[in-house]
A and B are shown apart, each in its own frame.
Chain A
Amino acid sequence: MAKKINSWNDLKALYKELNKDLDPKSQWIAICEGTGCRVYGCLDVSKALEGELNKQNLTKVKIVHTGCHGFCERGTLMVIHPEGIFYSRVKPEDVKEIVEKTVKNHEIIDRLVYVDPKTNSKIPYAKDIPFYKFQKRVLLSRNEEINPTLITDYIAHGGYNSLAKALFEMAPDQVIKEVKDAGLRGRGGGGFLAARKWESSRKAEGDVKYIICNADEGDPGAYMDRSIIEGNPHSVLEGMIIGAYAVGSSNGYIYIRHEYPLAMHHITEAIKQAREYGFLGENVLGSDFSFDLKISRGGGAFVAGESSALIQSIEGKVAEPKAKYVHMAEHGLYSKPTVLNNVETWANVPLIIDMGSKKYSEIGTKTSTGTKIFSLVGKINNTGLVEVPMGISLRQIIFDIGGGIKNNKKFKAVQTGGPSGGVLPEKLLDLPVDFDRLTEAGSMMGSGGMIVMDEDNCMVDVAKYFIAFLQEESCGKCVPCREGLKQMLEILEKICSGKGEMSDLDTLNDLSQLLTDGSLCGLGNSAANPVLSSLQYFRDEYETHIKDKKCPAKVCKALIKYRIIEDKCTGCHLCLKNCPSHAITGQVKKLHTIHDDKCIKCGICYDVCKFDAVIKE
């Protein structure tokens, strides 16, 4: 059982104790054990490394099992300190050589070093890699250094000091003022000023007030909240406890998606340890302030990420949004004053208290301060999580940090803001990324998904994808959303199957307006954005589908055919053997044929053919 910390001095003493043996020259190895790297088998690498270090009697070399480092494209990631040597795509069979050469002899293994796809040069140190170099990692940097399941790792890096500072040096109003002066805007989508919500809630009458963390990260293509909770759960807890102190709340909830089992595990463990150390519970750090929180698991409904729907879900009900004139700050969970912010917003709070609002607000732009984490995914070379100061351009994110488009294809669009956002074309690449500029351009910041698309992506198909997603996830309460999305989907399906008419585009516009005007919550209000933005910037693609019955990106199945070219087919049988619908016939060493009536257009023949004999047309 850990010793309960009863004062700021106790915390300072523990910090000192934890750092007393710290030798800046000592060797330690960070292995990324985030969800991405787990897919690549990082746990086997960890195991192999532990075994090898033991075998070689190198027990002084510490292994730190960390959360996500962000560069998921290159997993499994390993960073060898103190030099900061960065190895990627590490496999268990590489471990022996790493220990022998790098750990024992400080020799760099060429094969595991990152190669910049732009310049083809080898970059051995993490700090020099463009993916990291151009970021400003004030939130994510701790992910690379601490074991998220050990509260002592967090404390050793100065964790919970902001909480102590708030509790013992600042009055609740001062905390709110600091967050207000810092200009912190909610990272979950709307971008409302966090302090304004806190202030209303503080002023609202009531003995019981709630603090909620929205960890129901439902936007497809966004996973920064998952990575923060998995990699640094205490930063979220610390932010929430500071918020609770400012608002005057003693109860809180973390609402987390059931699709995130590892995050659930880490936050549960973090809460348990925070209680043991006295950061949660009665008399936090020996002060008069008490606060504790519970976890509420989501049931798999996108709309539950909407704040008023989320509290319904915590109450054990169906997650249906409520009208916005009921202010959560006064009538939230169980009709009590409630402050709800998302994971990234809460994680920013300790940082603001630590840095001070002045220094914090120097990061970013005047109206969008601080950094924002984006999940840079899709058709891009360096996929992963990137943290940048607000105001940086899309071009810098996609080309400098992201390393450009995969396989030298041409950039077509970037989708931001999830299903409520929109697609932005090449001509807007120099747009500074902040809350207001993205909204002006017809998209939005959302929770920070940034999905890059190339010439092989069809914009009508992408619009159809989002409308299908939203139609499925609409709770059904408001008719325009429930029925309007259904109609829009039918029209988009018609266009994608080559049966569209030009008048459909007007109908899409009309329905979009109806949705925006007639829906209660954010899901419905913004549901038309994917269609409106693609119509605005890629109208020609819609027209080609309608007038020429062609899909220029060769995605829409009804408008494409697979065919085998006579000159190139060697009759190797590979496509025939792998076709799941037995749509290919032909004798060995003779030309094969694809039968359209049986072909499901799964593309396997196209993928497996070694002679590029299969084409889409």
Chain B
Amino acid sequence: MTDLTAVDKVLQTHNHDKSMLVAILQDAQEQYRYLPKEVLTQISIKLEVPMSEIYQVVTFYKAFSLKPRGKHICSICMGTACHVRGAPLILETVKKHLDVEPGQNTKNMQFTLNTVNCVGACAVGPVVQVDNTLYGNLTSMKSIQLLKKFEKD
């Protein structure tokens, strides 16, 4: 069973305000690292918003995940500046290296691979973000070396 104390607290901070749905979901995801079904049900009941509407919002915005996520979140920037400097090659290599497609977790749950449409660090592209840190001027080779650092911790 998922502990619902954290989501109740989030709902309280936002005064159970329906118009704050996106923010509530963002805060809840920060607490649980993803959005478990029980959490969404709780939000639906407390805000009196139908589950269908919540599901619509959660699946519309890229920031939300309905599946548990790996220990490290690796996001490959696919912005234009990164694209022209070789981001597609990096994505291809990382996919092969981790043996996953974007949006999936590695079997050992160490990584979640994502793509992101521009993180705004265009001058140092190609850029890969691991958790909250950006790494720039990468090549296929450097990106593998980078991920190796996160394989064990």
Distance in Å: Cβ of A329 to nearest Cβ of chain B: 21
B136:A39 contact, CB within 8 angstroms: yes
Q: Is A551 part of the binding interface, using a Cβ–Cβ cutoff of 8 Å?
A: no
Q: How far, in whole Å, are A469 and B120 apart by their CA atoms in the complex? A: 16
- Tell me which of A151-159, A186-194, A375-383, A429-437 binds B: A375-383
Cβ contacts under 8 Å, A298 to chain B: 61, 63
Q: Is A316 part of the binding interface, using a Cβ–Cβ cutoff of 8 Å?
A: yes
A469:B117 contact, CB within 8 angstroms: yes
Residue numbers of A with Cβ under 8 A of B are 35-36, 38-40, 72-73, 75, 217-223, 226, 258-261, 296-302, 313-319, 375, 377-379, 383-385, 415, 418, 449, 451, 453, 457, 462, 465-466, 469, 472-473, 475, 578, 580-581, 600-604, 607-608
- Tell me which of B5-13, B15-23, B66-74, B104-112 binds A: B15-23
Q: How far, in whole Å, are A449 and B81 apart by their CA atoms in the complex? A: 9
Q: Is B42 part of the binding interface, using a Cβ–Cβ cutoff of 8 Å?
A: no
Q: Is B45 part of the binding interface, using a Cβ–Cβ cutoff of 8 Å?
A: no
4 more A-B contacts (CB under 8 A) besides A300-B62, A316-B23, A462-B80? A316-B18, A316-B20, A319-B60, A604-B139
Nearest residue (CB) in A for B87 is: A465
A578:B141 contact, CB within 8 angstroms: yes
Among B63, B84, B132, B134, which residue has the most Cβ atoms of chain A within 10 A? B84
Distance in Å: Cβ of B41 to nearest Cβ of chain A: 18
Nearest residue (CB) in B for A315 is: B19
A316:B84 contact, CB within 8 angstroms: no
A259:B140 contact, CB within 8 angstroms: no
Q: Is the interface of B mostly helix, strand, loop or mixed?
A: helix
Cβ contacts under 8 Å, B122 to chain A: 221-223, 375, 377, 383, 449
17 A-B pairs with CB atoms under 8 Å apart are: A36-B124, A39-B127, A73-B124, A217-B120, A222-B120, A260-B120, A299-B22, A299-B60, A299-B61, A301-B60, A316-B20, A378-B80, A449-B80, A462-B80, A475-B60, A580-B93, A602-B93
B61:A377 contact, CB within 8 angstroms: no
Cβ contacts under 8 Å, B36 to chain A: none
Q: Is B119 part of the binding interface, using a Cβ–Cβ cutoff of 8 Å?
A: yes
Distance in Å: Cβ of B108 to nearest Cβ of chain A: 18
Residue numbers of B with Cβ under 8 A of A are 18-23, 25-26, 56-57, 60-64, 78-81, 83-86, 89, 92-93, 96-97, 116-125, 127, 132, 134-137, 139-141, 144
B117:A602 contact, CB within 8 angstroms: no
A462:B84 contact, CB within 8 angstroms: yes
Q: How far, in whole Å, are A449 and B1 apart by their CA atoms in the complex? A: 48
Distance in Å: Cβ of B51 to nearest Cβ of chain A: 15
Contact A600 B96, CB 8 Å, known A297-B26, A607-B139: yes
Contact A259 B119, CB 8 Å, known A317-B57, A378-B81, A418-B80: yes
Distance in Å: Cβ of B74 to nearest Cβ of chain A: 15
B141:A607 contact, CB within 8 angstroms: yes
Cβ contacts under 8 Å, A319 to chain B: 60-61
Distance in Å: Cβ of B138 to nearest Cβ of chain A: 10
Distance in Å: Cβ of B12 to nearest Cβ of chain A: 17
Q: How far, in whole Å, are A26 and B22 apart by their CA atoms in the complex? A: 49
A35:B134 contact, CB within 8 angstroms: yes
A602:B92 contact, CB within 8 angstroms: yes
Contact A377 B125, CB 8 Å, known A220-B78, A221-B80, A315-B19: yes
A600:B26 contact, CB within 8 angstroms: no
Distance in Å: Cβ of A268 to nearest Cβ of chain B: 13
Cβ contacts under 8 Å, B118 to chain A: 218-223, 259
Selected from B64, B86, B96, B117, the residue in CB contact (under 8 A) with A218 is B117
A223:B140 contact, CB within 8 angstroms: no
Nearest residue (CB) in A for B127 is: A39
Nearest residue (CB) in A for B97 is: A580
A580:B96 contact, CB within 8 angstroms: yes
Q: How far, in whole Å, are A382 and B96 apart by their CA atoms in the complex? A: 33
Q: How far, in whole Å, are A299 and B116 apart by their CA atoms in the complex? A: 12
Contact A297 B23, CB 8 Å, known A378-B81, A603-B140: yes
Cβ contacts under 8 Å, B135 to chain A: 39
Cβ contacts under 8 Å, B26 to chain A: 258, 297, 299
Nearest residue (CB) in B for A413 is: B84
Selected from B63, B85, B93, the residue in CB contact (under 8 A) with A299 is B63
Q: How far, in whole Å, are A608 and B93 apart by their CA atoms in the complex? A: 14
Q: How far, in whole Å, are A384 and B81 apart by their CA atoms in the complex? A: 11
Cβ contacts under 8 Å, A226 to chain B: 120
